[in-house]
């Protein structure tokens, strides 16, 4: 597989992943922490707002594999 094709596929997958991930986290956040204490809401969205970086890193590593 050529490098440019791998990067294109990775880019499409990464953008799709982030959009779906954000939607799922927002829906579950609305169900689980809506109306709870603000500290719990910040902890939930802070944690899940940063955790997407781990799978994104694997995707980016695959994109730039030689």
CA dihedral 32, 34, 40, 43 (to 10 degrees): 80
Cβ(10)–Cβ(52) below 8 Å = no
Taking only the tens place, the pLDDT of each residue in 20-49 is 999 999 999 999 999 999 999 999 999 999
- pLDDT of residue 66 exceeding 90: no
Tally of domains in the chain: 1
- The answer to whether residue 32 sits within a structural domain is yes
- The answer to whether residue 41 sits within a structural domain is yes
pTM score of the predicted model: 0.84
- The answer to whether residue 65 sits within a structural domain is no
Task: Kindly report the average pLDDT of the chain as a whole number.
Answer: 94
Domain holding 15, by residue range, is 3-60
- The answer to whether residue 66 sits within a structural domain is no
């Amino acid at each position: 597989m050529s490098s440019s094709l791998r990067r294109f596929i990775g880019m499409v997958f990464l953008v799709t992943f982030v959009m779906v991930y954000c939607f799922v986290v927002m829906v579950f956040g609305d169900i689980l922490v809506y109306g709870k204490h603000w500290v719990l809401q910040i902890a939930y969205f802070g944690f899940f707002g940063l955790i997407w970086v781990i799978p994104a890193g694997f995707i980016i590593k695959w994109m730039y594999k030689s």
